Amino acid sequence: MANRSQHLRPVQKRRMPPGKAAAARKRPGYVQKVFSTDRDYFDYNLLAIVILLTCFGLVMLYSTSAYEAMLEPNGSDMTYFRKQAIISIGAFILALIGSQIDYHFIARFAVPIYWIAVFFLVITKFIGREVNGAKRWIYFGPISFQPAELAKLAVILFLPVLIVKMGYKLRGFKPPLIVFGFGMLASGCTYIFTENLSTAVIIAGITVVLIFIAHPKTAPFVIAGGVGAVLIGILVVILVNMAGSGGSFRIQRVKVWLDPESYASLGGYQVMQALYAIGSGGFFGKGLGNSTQKLGALPEAQNDMIFSIICEELGVFGAALVILMFVFMLYRLFFIAQNAPDLLGSLIASGIFVHIALQVVLNIAVVTNLIPTTGITLPFVSYGGTSILFLMAEMALALSVSRQIRFRS
């Protein structure tokens, strides 16, 4: 009779060889772990810059919006700050929790998230509430929601999943067009149903860059980029020539861009006041809270024009500091994309990188009147609950990818 102690010993699990483990992951029935357990790496640098930018944004938001908030009925100087702070703290906590979830698990929901985003974009045209001449928000009681923000996150998550599923087929002609089509569908719905051209451009930019990264050939993109630049140049010339005679509000924005003083009633007044704020700030600015343009001269400065108040109060030094913070954030996202364990993680991080980069560049270009006004906000700094919520969701995805990075000693 065998010794009973032999049957009472704990069973030791045999560790599967790396090759077999990789093969097992490719099996259809393989289920990956939802929560990461190996904590060899976590990008605390990205986490730190997110906290820093969010806190800086809250300080500037209070400085910019306090006066205008007090003018509202039953208003308080803390109105905008309180709302943004509550949403920022809640979104940051959710981002920390979300960063612990394996991004492969989140990617399983990419398809329904994409179609839900498209659905909300379409119905915005019919049930959305018009604010400042545009239907871009859906209201659920006191809570407002901007579907265009969800669309950006949906594209950043869905297109990498689609590209990875195609694999080597992406080298052909038809598969890249399919990926491009899904990206343009979201971009087109954003423009047609919400009249949000700037977000549509960002979604299109994310789509093109993701295909460029995944596609093995560079020549087609160089040719397409050259043709696109020529077409954009022709379009600008046409719009400039049409600016002399009426036209839609797009044409009016071109008029304002070309000569803001002559078209002050069409929006040029806001552009001029923003430029005055930038010019009066000097190198070190007037001091935090000492802006004069925010005292009614620059309407709704806490939204897309907040960078001009930063320049006025903190000067060129403060503006350069903000830009450096965004550069550091982009550097961390680039680092994560370069060291991601697989193509899916690399493409997700790259999509987030493109989104942040385009939005920062477009916002600063609008404030300095380098391009016509688009109404795009400065990430983590401008006022907007939906924006900060989905930006934190993107940071959660990036941090989730960073948790899977492995370094060889």
Residues 353-374: tens digit of each pLDDT: 999 999 999 999 989 888 887 7
Please list, in sequence order, all residues whose beta carbon lies within 8 angstroms of the beta carbon of residue 396, skipping any fewer than 6 positions away: 94, 95, 96, 97, 98, 99, 101
Three-class secondary structure of residue 135 per DSSP: strand
> What are the residue ranges in the chain where pLDDT is below 50?
1-16, 18-38, 245
- Name residue 94's amino acid: L
Q: Residue 140: in which H helix or E strand, if any? A: strand 134-140
Tokens found for residue 344 = 């899916």
Burial of residue 133 (CB within 10 Å: 0-12, 13-18, 19+) is: exposed
What does the pLDDT look like over 65-89, one tens digit per residue?
888 888 877 778 888 899 999 999 9
pLDDT of the residue at 30? 36
Facing residues of 137 across strands?
129
User: At what angle are helices 79-99 and 385-403 packed, to 10 degrees?
Assistant: 20
pLDDT of the residue at 297? 78
What does the pLDDT look like over 271-305, one tens digit per residue?
888 888 898 888 898 989 888 888 877 877 888 88
pLDDT of the residue at 132? 67
pLDDT of the residue at 152? 95
Global pTM reads 0.85
- 8 A C-beta contact, residue 400 and residue 103: yes
pLDDT of the residue at 354? 95
Distance of CA 118 to the CA centre of its chain: 17
Return the closest-CA partner of residue 60 out of 390, 302, 305, 376: 302
